[in-house]
Amino acid sequence: MGFSLEAVREAHRLIQGLARTTPLVEALSFSDQAGQPILLKLETLQPIGAFKIRGAAHALLRLDEAARRRGVVCCSTGNHGKAVAYAARHLGIKATICLSNLVPEAKVQGIAAQGATIRRCGTSQDDAQREADRLVREKGYTDISPFDHRNVILGQATIALELLTECPDLTQIVVPLSGGGLLGGIAVAAKQIKPSIRVTGVSMAEGAAMHESLKAGHPIHVAEAPSLADTLGGGINLTNQWTFKLCCDFADETLLVSEEEIYRGMQALFRRERLIAEGGGAVGIAALLAGKLKLDGPTAMIISGQNADLDQIIAVAKGEPVRVGDRMVKG
């Protein structure tokens, strides 16, 4: 399928300078509670505050000169758009980012700060993708998918190389799950390095498109819903090329966590470890605290991003309720 370790290693070499090799640190408070070492992979320390820079940088670096001159477009729930905008700015490529109206304003402002053109459209990632498709047809832009793109997946897979180089005795990697680029990439690389390793995906309870598609045995449409884990929203495309099969073949399990559990995960990361994590980045810790993970040795949690609204972070840290759609959530 084109996801050999050699290809992942080449992607890792190529993205150096745009993406960082991030720290892997033990969270002693969680290790003590779990009875096993809990290690946090801090993708929050990437230049854009999220892991998405790996895949976006790799995809843009692989473009030929003609495609670079025409420009790129993508749809996003926030972090992918920021990553594409960041990489495009550094490479001198024009970028247009299509966002649904569910994307929080803090993420929109972060993308705008990178100099990209922003288009707001509709109430779902599917709506944003339709606008991106229109711009591909009419303007000749190259679409950089947030997940279902070979070079994006290879970029995300570089996390597995770093994890198992630094900690070869890992028994499990816990990965936030949206469209499956991160889970599929990490799983296909990690299983080639260490076939016995367990790779678990975690998503929010409502609107978990990949989780529900895997249950159904084929890609399905799932209605999006407001969530603290807003970066995990969006569909996986009914014509999914890559990530559904990767997740089906290489991930061991996918789990769901409630909004209250996500809130507690965000709060625990801040209070115990002094780490800011957006809801999507805290779902692994949420599953740990909820007792939903099977632990049998050192476990790595991908803390995938920190780009939450500041007022939301402050409220969660203080234990105050936060609005999610039409309801208030508290841990």
Q: Do residue 44 and residue 123 come from a single domain?
A: no
Class of residue 64 by CB neighbours under 10 A (exposed 0-12, middle 13-18, buried 19+):
exposed
Range of the domain at 134: 53-143
Digit-coded pLDDT (tens) for 230-259: 999 888 999 999 999 999 999 999 999 999
| CB-based contact 281:232 (threshold 8 Å) | no
CA nearest neighbour of 21 among 57, 51, 62: 51
CATH of the domain at 244: 3.40.50.1100
Domain boundary residue among 116, 143, 170?
143
Q: Do residue 125 and residue 255 come from a single domain?
A: no
Q: Do residue 75 and residue 185 come from a single domain?
A: no
Q: Do residue 155 and residue 250 come from a single domain?
A: yes
Beta bridge partners of 253: 200
CA nearest neighbour of 15 among 67, 68, 90: 90
Q: Which DSSP helix (H) or strand (E) runs through 39?
A: strand 38-42
Amino acid letter at 247? C
Q: Do residue 31 and residue 153 come from a single domain?
A: yes
Rounded to whole angstroms, the Cα distance separating 187 from 198 reads 8
Q: Do residue 65 and residue 36 come from a single domain?
A: no
What predicted TM-score, i.e. pTM, was given to this entire model?
0.95
* 13-to-10, 61, 68, 192 alpha-carbon distances in Å: 5, 12, 21, 18
Digit-coded pLDDT (tens) for 114-128: 999 999 988 888 889
The tally of CA atoms less than 13 A away on the side-chain side of residue 237 is 20
| Residue in this structure with the two tokens 């209250």, named with its chain if needed | 260
Domain boundary residue among 143, 170, 189?
143
Q: What percent of the chain has pLDDT over 90?
A: 90
Q: Do residue 42 and residue 109 come from a single domain?
A: no
Q: What is the DSSP string of 279-312?
A: GGGGHHHHHHHTT----SS-EEEEE-B----HHH
Dig out the tokens for 108 from the structure. 């929109």
Q: Do residue 63 and residue 36 come from a single domain?
A: no
Digit-coded pLDDT (tens) for 70-112: 999 999 988 999 999 999 999 999 999 999 988 888 889 989 9
Q: Determine the pLDDT at residue 37.
A: 98
Q: Do residue 17 and residue 107 come from a single domain?
A: no
Q: Determine the pLDDT at residue 102.
A: 82
Digit-coded pLDDT (tens) for 271-310: 999 999 999 999 999 999 999 999 999 999 999 999 999 9
- Structurally, the chain folds into a number of domains equal to 2
CA nearest neighbour of 46 among 156, 135, 195: 156
Q: Do residue 171 and residue 65 come from a single domain?
A: no
Is 206 a residue whose pLDDT tops 70? yes
Domain boundary residue among 78, 112, 143?
143
Q: Determine the pLDDT at residue 162.
A: 98
Q: Do residue 62 and residue 19 come from a single domain?
A: no
State the virtual CA torsion across 112, 69, 20, 307 in degrees, nearest 10: 20
Q: Do residue 9 and residue 132 come from a single domain?
A: no
Digit-coded pLDDT (tens) for 4-48: 999 999 999 999 999 999 999 999 999 999 999 999 999 999 999
